[in-house]
Amino acid sequence: MIKVSVMYPNTPGARFNHEYYRDNHMPLVKARMGDACKFYTVDKGLSGGAPGTPPTYIGMCHIFSVSVEAFQAGFGPHVAEIMGDIPNYTDLAPVMQISEVMVG
């Protein structure tokens, strides 16, 4: 199992519409990827590690897939549409990471 994390840095003055991200963008990703996306989570940053500090990331998602190849096969054909939706909820550039899920 792999996890693709898409994270949006908490940048002062940046725009991020959490409701659109949760209610429109991520359902679009799941619909286009089909079974290549086993499930996903959506996070809204609340704070940093120390009390009163801002979150490192304002928002993020984690897409779970059986393999990198399965993710690429599901995401690749729809990359233009999915990436083209980003301006509808943010003006931030996402940071991506693919990880192997070691437990769970």
pTM for the predicted model, two decimal places: 0.94
Other Cβ atoms less than 10 A from the Cβ of 83: the count is: 11
- Alpha carbons 13 and 85: distance in angstroms, whole number: 20
Domain count, the chain: 1
**Helix (H) or strand (E) run with residue 4 in it:** strand 2-9
pLDDT tens digits for range 35-84: 999 999 999 999 999 999 999 999 999 999 999 999 999 999 999 999 99
pLDDT tens digits for range 2-45: 999 999 999 999 999 999 999 999 999 999 999 999 999 999 99
Single out the residue of 99, 21, 38, 37 nearest to residue 74, CA to CA: 37
The domain that holds 91 is classified in CATH as: 3.30.70.100
